[in-house]
A and B are shown apart, each in its own frame.
Chain A
Amino acid sequence: MRRGDGRTGASPRCFVLATALAALIGAGSAAGEEIGTDAAALVESGRRIYEEGVLSSGEPLVGVRPGGLEAFGREVACALCHQRSGLGLTEGAVPVPPVSGPALFRNEQPVTLGRTPLRAPGMQFRDYHFRTRPPYDDASLARAIRDGVSPTGHPFNYLMPRYLLSDRDTQALLAYLRQLSDRPSAGVEGRMADFATVVAPGMDPQRRESYLGVLRACFADRHPAPEPDDPPWLQGWRLHVWDLDGPPETWGRQLQECYAQQPVFALVSGLGGDVWSPVEQFCAQNRIPCLFPNVEVPGSPDGGRYSFHFYKGVLLEAQVAARYLKDRRAHQGISRVVQISRREGSGARAADALREALQGSGIPVEDRRLTVADGTDAAGLLDGLTAADALVLWLREADLAALSTTVEPPPAGVVLVSGVLGGQEKAPLADPWKRAALMVYPFDPPFRWERRMAYNLRTWLGERGLPRADERLQGNTLTACNLLSEGMLRMRGRYQRDYLVEWTENYPTGMGNAPAPQAFPRFSLGPGQRFSSKGAYIARFSPTDPGRLERVEDWIVP
């Protein structure tokens, strides 16, 4: 890849799509009074206690539960339960109360609808003590942390340890808590919230249009600009489209330019291909949640704290292929893998990942590269294959078409095609290849998926006059928008980016509300998890109907 010097003219186009309100946004939201270096150091040492469970002495934090159960360091760090935002969560029947500055010192409550919960005759309503207690001051909060009682002496839940803290560490923790989540993150101003979506350069214009059509419609439906008599929790949204230009090494600067012009609360979805890490780095540096882009290769193996993906794209396919091929060695005597890809792009990344996943397995991997633009040099690449070989094709549709019409399938024991790159059921393979090939298929099985799309995507598109295009792209984009929407609603007025991350990672999926229009059979996250679908099927083209795929292996989680 080129260094940026020749292309420093690359410039992003940072557009606003929604025109609901003329922006009254000032110069960002760097509000926040200056604090002295001593005070800042105190807050930082409080942060280390809160997030990492490390005392100012460098020793681990010690927490004791009634009955004597002692635990140390990260195991009892405040953030483990109260979360980095300090806004808590509910796990099972146990509510973890918020401990943000406003919650502790002003007893501030989330936005409510002013309703009284329904109750049957004879039932008593008792609210949680943490919602009705008086605000803390420094003395009562220090006592709470050390002795496990509220300002009125109410004892805490067993889950909350009692902490052994020096006066200095108590002071640091209090200083940290006082400022924790005490004002909305940048990107939310009054009742308007700004979001951006990033489009990588070189995307097919029609694909970009159908992608943006879904986002525009989602924003227009759900987030009109609020009017004065609307309830306070109704929020207006604006969508900004950041079109990147030029080589990836200039994307970071472009993103910062767009962000300087318009601070946004989160990035929603996104459209890219084999390079996405500059976007993830931007998200990590600015602590911006980046929710579920459409990309073939995620930026980093763990995604970083602020980036969520539906799956690992072709890297997942490579890991699943490795698992399947190891299994085939045992059952079928596969003793070598030959993989064909282009030298660059997603196919090359997948080939690297498969090589890595097979390291130490004793199965040698041989890379062969397509070099001619029209893919017609493929014939020679298939020489010397036998039934003891597995042939893996990390090729896009045009290359699959060229290869499979140029040459007959070789006598390899296994022929495996990438579903992500190869076009899934529409893969343009010639018939003899369809009979020979298997496909790594990280999506919902076609029958189930079709049915879900009919209910959850096609009606939605139709009602909005949007044409059906790549329905996996459209469905995933709508899902990303829905997830953002739900997260924003669940925050109930406490607009903290970390809180959005926490709602997203704890999205409850076991209760039948998995996001419906997505292309994947699973959606499961958890604290620290960043990829919501973790496996793939191995499929083949139906012998009776080569336009259909059918599963040959159960869901493989590598």
Chain B
Amino acid sequence: MAPYAVTRSAARALALAGSLALVAVTQHPVVAAEGHDHHHHEHHEAAAPQGYRRTTQSYQLPDLALVRDDGTAVRFPADIDDGRPVVLNFIYTTCTAICPMLSQTLAAFQRKLGPDVAGVHMVSISIDPEQDTPAQLADYAKRYGAGPQWTHYTGTLEASLEVQKAFQAYYGDKMNHRPVTFLRRAPGQPWVRLEGFTTPDDLVREYRQLVTAG
């Protein structure tokens, strides 16, 4: 498309194109094949109207530099390979709808684990790393009462993108962020990917199943 139009009709065409694009971007009407079953998980007994989808995945994690919310520069994934099971998600601190809910869920998860909480490593990685400085992340962590087992990470934009892509959780733009949570029993094990909204109880159940399995 020519960048900008000169004539009235072209100006109209531009506005038209913009509106159409907008319909596609912001409306997302649900187009579903007949009989298509939405992502309700079989174990999902809670009354949540949406549910989530559970899959098991192997991810090749790149070795790169990240920065913890206390300002310490670390290597990833070495820093999360401390032997403990990992619960991981992606957030950004100025996010409105989805991240606050994800972080509220992790905060409730951490409370519900009770004394077992020391045995898990909770990881939240920023997808807006240039805005989310370590100080910003530390404030955010405090807002959700993050305990010592819950680390928030930032880094360069490139590093954040690489990690998102490694987890197949890169959706093109931070506003296109989806609710996904990852669990891993131990380094070298596959990841359980929970796609959609999980309640704190869902997450505790998934976590306990994972750590007691086999």
Q: Which residues of A contact B (CB under 8 A)?
A: 65-71, 75, 80-81, 83, 89-96, 112-113, 115, 117, 119, 122-128, 155-159, 218, 221-224, 230-231, 233-234, 456, 459-460, 463, 482, 486, 489-490, 492, 506, 508-511, 516, 522, 524, 526-529, 534-535, 554-555, 557
Contact = CB atoms under 8 A, between A and B. Distances in A.
A489 B199 contact: no
Interface in B69-99: 92, 94-98
Contacts of A459: 3
B131 A508 contact: no
B49 A157 contact: yes
A91 B177 CA distance: 6
Interface of B: 3-6, 8, 11-12, 14-16, 18-20, 22-23, 25-34, 46-50, 92, 94-98, 100-101, 104-105, 108, 128-131, 133, 156-157, 171-179, 197, 199-202
B26 A224 contact: no
A510 B172 contact: yes
Given A90-B25, A125-B29, A221 B46 contact: no
A235 to B, nearest CB: 8
A223 B29 contact: no
B15 A489 contact: yes
A18 B6 CA distance: 16
Contact of B31 (A71, A123, A158, A223): A123
A222 B33 contact: no
Contacts, number: 190
B53 to A, nearest CB: 13
Contacts of B95: 91, 526-527
Dominant SS among interface residues on chain A: loop
Nearest to A510: B173
A164 B157 CA distance: 40
A529 B12 contact: no
A158 to B, nearest CB: 4
A66 B101 CA distance: 12
Contacts of A117: 23, 29, 31
Contact of B176 (A67, A92, A96): A92
A311 B199 CA distance: 39
A460 B199 CA distance: 52
Contacts of A68: 199-201
Given A93-B28, A490-B18, A526 B178 contact: no
- Give the most central of A92, A95, A117: most B CB within 10 Å: A92
A299 to B, nearest CB: 20
B199 A66 contact: yes
Given A81-B97, A224-B8, A231-B16, 6 more contacts: A67-B48, A81-B96, A90-B26, A124-B31, A524-B131, A534-B130
B200 A67 contact: yes
Given A90-B26, A526-B131, A67 B46 contact: yes
A459 B22 CA distance: 27
Contacts of A92: 98, 171, 175-179
Contacts of B98: 91-92, 94, 159
A121 to B, nearest CB: 11
- Give the most central of B29, B101, B105, B172: most A CB within 10 Å: B101
B205 to A, nearest CB: 11
